[in-house]
């Protein structure tokens, strides 16, 4: 009996091994793998399906792969699973890809108002705050943290810092400078000369200029040399504006040099006399450029700022019954405003404007104010002080026959 039992057990084992071997050699040997692996995706970015590859032995069965249980939403942060499945010979195999949707973009911060604010001691600073926008969280303006140590009673330069973080801890910073200055009594102020030049030429190079507003570079150097030897400060237009508005004081020996038009000898394209001389003497000047006539890139120097002389309203003889050349005085408001805006776009500045041919009227002044200029210049042959109308600033035209003694009388206090 025992022998029979033993034979039965052995038989069963042999049968089991035979069946297992048959199953093994006929069971599908499937290999399924991802193309590209797991993915980290920024929110709202497009998900590009890389797929998977499947093989049975040496046979490519990738066409039999399908995706199930995918709930990927690239508009929402989170961790998602994409499941790839392949069936072959009644056998199913699965593999998963992990897709993480994250937010790596910091919020944008935009200042309301100016980045630099200048005030007088005692004057209240009303913070215009900032706008904070996030690509995922939306408007975060109410969550901005502000570090503000401004003291209106003490002159100095202060920095206000604005900080905001989104729900993914992406942080942005922006700052605003607030400058408090001591109050200035504008009634106690020097009068200074604003000089007005036009064209520059050099007779030693065979150049000539027959107009009265031409100046020989030799005479121009003599004039700058006098200013330098007598310690005159040549103002930038920004300094002149701040002085006119009572924000700063300047030395009594100060002048503002201006040049109109942008023609002969003023730029790299038409003789290049002005800029090398300014750089030689390290003196500042402002060019009032007719922006539609010449390319502003011809006038590049740290000693020369460029302001507006209209874009294309410096043509003589177009208006009847008004001052010669006063195109601004007979054009429509829309035409004038459009022209001024074009010139501002070129110069990138609204600091100062110069009326063509010194011609202006009340309407022209209102147009200049409306587009945002802080100052406007005319003729006048007299010095300027801070009580003068900021839109009728007088200048001294410098002529070909202006002697050095006459020049000295103009600039001297």
Q: What is the CATH number of the domain that holds 274?
A: 3.20.20.370
Q: How confident is the model at residue 24 (pLDDT cuts 50, 70, 90)?
A: very low
Q: What percentage of the chain carries pLDDT values higher than 70?
A: 92
End position of a domain, from candidates 85, 102, 119: 102
Q: Residue 25 has what pLDDT? A: 47
Q: State which of 64-78, 283-297, 317-331 shows the largest mean pLDDT.
A: 283-297
Per DSSP, the residues of 310-327 read -SS---TT--SSSSTT-H
Same domain, 85 and 228: no
Tally of structural domains, the chain: 3
Cβ proximity of 259 and 286 under 8 Å? yes
End position of a domain, from candidates 102, 133, 155: 102
Which structure tokens are listed for 21? Answer: 């071997």
Residue 8 forms part of a structural domain: no
Close Cβ partners of 89 (under 8 Å, ≥ 6 residues apart): 28, 56
Same domain, 250 and 389: yes
Q: How confident is the model at residue 316 (pLDDT cuts 50, 70, 90)?
A: confident
Beta bridge partners of 233: 254
Residue 297 forms part of a structural domain: yes
Same domain, 294 and 385: yes
Task: Compute the mean pLDDT over every residue in the chain, rounded to the nearest whole number.
Answer: 92
pTM, 2 dp? 0.69
Residue 3 forms part of a structural domain: no
Same domain, 163 and 202: no
Provide mean pLDDT across the span 335-351: 97
Provide mean pLDDT across the span 9-17: 65
Q: Which domain holds residue 143?
A: 108-181
Same domain, 158 and 261: no
Same domain, 218 and 364: yes
Q: How confident is the model at residue 57 (pLDDT cuts 50, 70, 90)?
A: confident
Provide mean pLDDT across the span 129-146: 97
Same domain, 379 and 238: yes
- CATH code at position 161: 2.60.40.10
Q: Which residue has the higher pLDDT, 185 or 12?
A: 185
Same domain, 177 and 241: no
Which structure tokens are listed for 237? Answer: 């237009």
Q: Which residue has the higher pLDDT, 70 or 176?
A: 176
Which structure tokens are listed for 305? Answer: 């700022």
| Whether pLDDT at 324 is above 70 | no
Sign (positive/negative) of CA torsion 59, 63, 68, 72? positive
Which structure tokens are listed for 285? Answer: 């000047």
End position of a domain, from candidates 84, 102, 120: 102
pLDDT in tens, 236-289: 999 999 999 988 899 999 999 999 999 999 999 999 999 999 999 999 999 999
| Whether pLDDT at 174 is above 50 | yes
């Amino acid at each position: 009996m025992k022998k029979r039992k033993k034979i039965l057990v052995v038989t069963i084992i042999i049968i089991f091994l035979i069946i297992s071997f048959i199953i093994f050699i006929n069971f599908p040997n499937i290999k399924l793998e991802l193309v590209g692996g797991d993915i980290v995706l920024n929110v709202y970015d497009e998900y590009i399906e890389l797929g998977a590859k499947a093989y049975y032995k040496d046979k490519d069965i990738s066409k039999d792969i399908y995706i199930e249980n995918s709930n990927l939403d690239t508009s929402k942060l989170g961790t998602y699973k994409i499941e790839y499945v392949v069936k072959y010979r009644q056998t199913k195999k699965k593999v998963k890809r992990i897709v993480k949707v994250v937010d790596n973009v910091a919020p944008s911060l935009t200042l309301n108002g100016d980045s630099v604010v200048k005030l007088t001691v005692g004057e209240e600073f009303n913070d215009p705050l900032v706008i904070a926008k996030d690509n995922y969280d939306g408007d975060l303006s109410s969550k901005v943290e502000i570090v503000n140590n401004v003291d209106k009673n003490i002159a100095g330069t202060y920095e206000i810092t604005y900080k905001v973080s989104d729900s993914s801890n992406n942080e942005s910073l922006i700052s605003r400078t607030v400058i408090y200055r001591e109050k200035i009594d504008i009634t106690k102020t020097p009068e200074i000369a604003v000089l007005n030049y036009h064209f520059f030429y050099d007779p030693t190079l065979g150049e000539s200029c027959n107009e009265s507003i031409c100046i020989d570079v030799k005479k121009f150097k003599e004039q700058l040399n006098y200013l330098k030897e007598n310690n005159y400060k040549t103002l930038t237009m920004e300094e002149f504006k701040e002085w006119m508005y009572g924000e700063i004081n300047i030395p009594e020996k100060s002048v503002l040099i201006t040049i109109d038009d942008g023609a002969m000898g003023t730029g790299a394209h038409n003789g290049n006399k002005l800029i090398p001389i300014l750089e030689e003497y390290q003196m500042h000047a402002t060019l009032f450029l007719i922006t539609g006539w010449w390319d502003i890139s011809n006038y590049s120097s740290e000693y020369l700022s460029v302001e507006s002389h209209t874009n294309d309203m410096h043509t003589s003889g177009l208006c009847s019954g008004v001052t010669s050349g006063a195109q601004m005085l007979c054009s429509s408001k829309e035409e004038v405003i459009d022209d001024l805006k074009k010139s501002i776009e070129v110069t990138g500045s609204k600091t100062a404007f110069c009326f063509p041919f010194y011609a202006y009227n009340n309407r022209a002044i209102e147009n200049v104010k409306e587009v945002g200029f802080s100052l406007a210049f005319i003729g006048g042959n007299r010095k300027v002080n801070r009580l003068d109308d900021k839109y009728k600033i007088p200048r001294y035209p410098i002529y070909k026959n202006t002697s050095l003694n006459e020049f000295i009388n103009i600039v001297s206090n």
